Amino acid sequence: FIGGRRGDVRIAGGMLAALTFCTFESISLLNLGPRFTPSWYAAHVLALLPSAALLAGQLQIYVVSVRAEQAARAEADRVAERLRAGFELAVEMATQVDMEPLIRRLLEGARTLGKAERASLVRIEDGMLVLETGLDSGGLAAPTGFRNSFDSAVSDGVPIILEAIRRRRAVISGPYTVAGLPAEHQESLRGLRHTLSLPLVLRGEVIAVIMLGRRTDPPFTEEDSDRLRELTVISALLLRNARLLDSAQEASAAKSRFLNMAAHELRTPLSVISGYIDMLMSGTFGDLDHRQEPTLRILSDKSGELASHVERLLVASRLDAGTSSPVAREVDLREIAADAVHRVEPRAALIGGRLEFKVPEEPVVVAADPADIGLVLDNLLNNALTYSQPPPKVTLSLTRSGELRVADHGIGISPEQQERVFEQFHRVENPDFGYPPGTGLGLYISRRLAERNGGSLVLEKSVPDAGSTFLLTLGESHKGG
Ligand code: ADP
């Protein structure tokens, strides 16, 4: 028993002592003489000693377990502190979506947590090591964008980075040099005595390496790299997300540039075509015979339709690029609504539709760009006519608090499509109703226009086959003008 549990404090401090005392007592009991003699007393005192020894053993167990608990708590506190520091930094970094500030914050955080003087981020791109950026307390940051191939990195004496990439874990090492760096940067690198390379790994692939450097002792330890572990895990994710966002924004900007260019290029020939059609119809090139006129009318309608599509593309691309801004002034919404109804009346009459118009007696004045609001109402009224079974019945109403509603009894929009109709180029598939000409840009543009005038545009209510109500609310309005 003793041999098997050698070193156990319970044996040393309690059991062993208890056994010893028991032995003494047994021996003294063997020799027990008459009562109240010294040996009689000794035997009784000895009988208490095993219990006392066991108690001492228990106390020792208690002391040891308290100490172990304290040590575990201290370790847990240290880990929690490490996690908290990493987490706080990660949360702070997560609010950054732009690449440059994100990397700067990451390097600042890594430098502080790693108690380092220099921190740089090396990106891995097409078999090259690219120095993303660097921070140095000595004031001399590394040259951003410096490239180094993997092969030359080996011969350069920077296999530290390569080793971190290969092992996919932190590598602690000494000074290093990079061939090809300008002399002053070589000098600042040479001053580093200790280096810690931290690979940022995402799904088993190293996407970048953080290099930390100290100019003075102590060297980096495993504890330093542990402290930075959470930071590297989260940084890898954030960097990947920032990069994805970068490329998505670039793709979106390219799409906007293309739309803008295409719309501009289409507009000029289109206006020439429309001009000639008008001249032909007005008889500038001679009288028309009865067979030519219907054809020319169709041409005129279609070129008008095309021109309005092109115009929408232009408005959308200008809104995306932010190259146009509203010219706000105090306007009476009743007038803007009346003008919109007036513009749509001929079309409504042509298809036998009925337009209802309800406005309050007194002016409803808001600060907004009348052209923007007019365009939103044009879109809503035309949609209400387009997406209704003939003959359409459409109501435009204005409340005293400046809420404009366009309601129809048309085909309606299913619940799952009700928010999607405001997306760019989104059109609802409806084979039963057919596909009227359109671009899927009208509601997208309308919502953006409402928002840039401090208002909002929502689909207030829509029931398939029963109709829809769109609600346009504009900013502060004051009754009475
Ligand atoms: P477009 O009318 O050019 O397709 P919009 O952005 O104006 O583009 O509308 C997007 C889609 O929303 C339309 O294609 C149509 O399916 C649906 N929609 C818009 N207004 C209505 C409406 N009043 N009733 C039913 N569906 C509508």
**Quick check: 187 and 136 in contact, CB under 8 A?**
no
Q: Is the pLDDT of residue 156 over 70?
A: no
Q: Is the pLDDT of residue 456 over 90?
A: yes
- Side-chain half-sphere exposure of 156, counting CA atoms within 13 A: 21
DSSP 378-412: HHHHHHHHHTSPSSPEEEEEE-TTSEEEEEE-SS-
Q: Judging by beta carbons within 10 Å of its beta carbon (0-12, 13-18, 19+), is residue 361 exposed, middle or buried? A: exposed
Q: Is the pLDDT of residue 238 over 60?
A: yes
C-alpha–C-alpha distance, residues 28 and 22, integer Å: 10
User: What pLDDT score does 387 carry?
Assistant: 96
> CA end-to-end span of the chain, whole Å?
100
385 lines ligand 1 (CB under 6 A): no
User: What pLDDT score does 147 carry?
Assistant: 73
> What pTM was computed for the model?
0.60
Residue among 313, 319, 383 whose CB has most ligand 1 atoms within 8 A, to mutate: 383
Q: Helix (H, G, I), strand (E, B), or coil: what is residue 159?
A: helix
Two tokens at 214? 């100290």
Amino acid at 101: P
Least confident span in 18-27, 110-119, 145-154, 261-270: 145-154
C-alpha–C-alpha distance, residues 379 and 439, integer Å: 12
- Per-residue model confidence as pLDDT tens digits over 43-74: 778 777 777 877 887 788 888 888 988 999 99
107 vs 43, higher pLDDT:
107
Neighbour count for residue 427 (Cβ, 10 Å): 17
443 lines ligand 1 (CB under 6 A): yes
348 vs 479, higher pLDDT:
348
91 vs 318, higher pLDDT:
318
Two tokens at 431? 């084979």
Ligand 1 centroid distance, CA of 259 (Å): 21
13 lines ligand 1 (CB under 6 A): no
Most confident of 123-132, 264-273, 310-319, 367-376: 367-376
User: What pLDDT score does 141 carry?
Assistant: 66
Nearest C-alpha to atom 14 of ligand 1 is from which residue? 427
Ligand 1 centroid distance, CA of 80 (Å): 54
Atom of ligand 1 nearest to the CA of 445: 6
C-alpha–C-alpha distance, residues 286 and 282, integer Å: 9
Two tokens at 417? 């499509």
- CA 65 from centroid of its chain's CA atoms: 47
Nearest C-alpha to atom 3 of ligand 1 is from which residue? 438
Average pLDDT for 401-413: 96
The H or E element containing residue 214 is strand 205-214
Percent of the chain with pLDDT over 70: 91
Most confident of 137-146, 169-178, 227-236, 374-383: 374-383
Amino acid at 128: M
Average pLDDT, the chain: 85
User: What pLDDT score does 477 carry?
Assistant: 45
The H or E element containing residue 111 is helix 99-113
Atom of ligand 1 nearest to the CA of 422: 6
Q: Is the pLDDT of residue 5 over 80?
A: no
Helix axes 292-321, 229-281, angle to 10 degrees: 150
Atom of ligand 1 nearest to the CA of 441: 6
C-alpha–C-alpha distance, residues 66 and 192, integer Å: 44
C-alpha–C-alpha distance, residues 406 and 355, integer Å: 10
442 lines ligand 1 (CB under 6 A): yes
Q: Is the pLDDT of residue 109 over 50?
A: yes
Ligand 1 centroid distance, CA of 325 (Å): 25
Q: Is the pLDDT of residue 86 over 50?
A: yes
Q: Judging by beta carbons within 10 Å of its beta carbon (0-12, 13-18, 19+), is residue 220 exposed, middle or buried? A: buried
Ligand 1 centroid distance, CA of 274 (Å): 27
Nearest C-alpha to atom 19 of ligand 1 is from which residue? 383
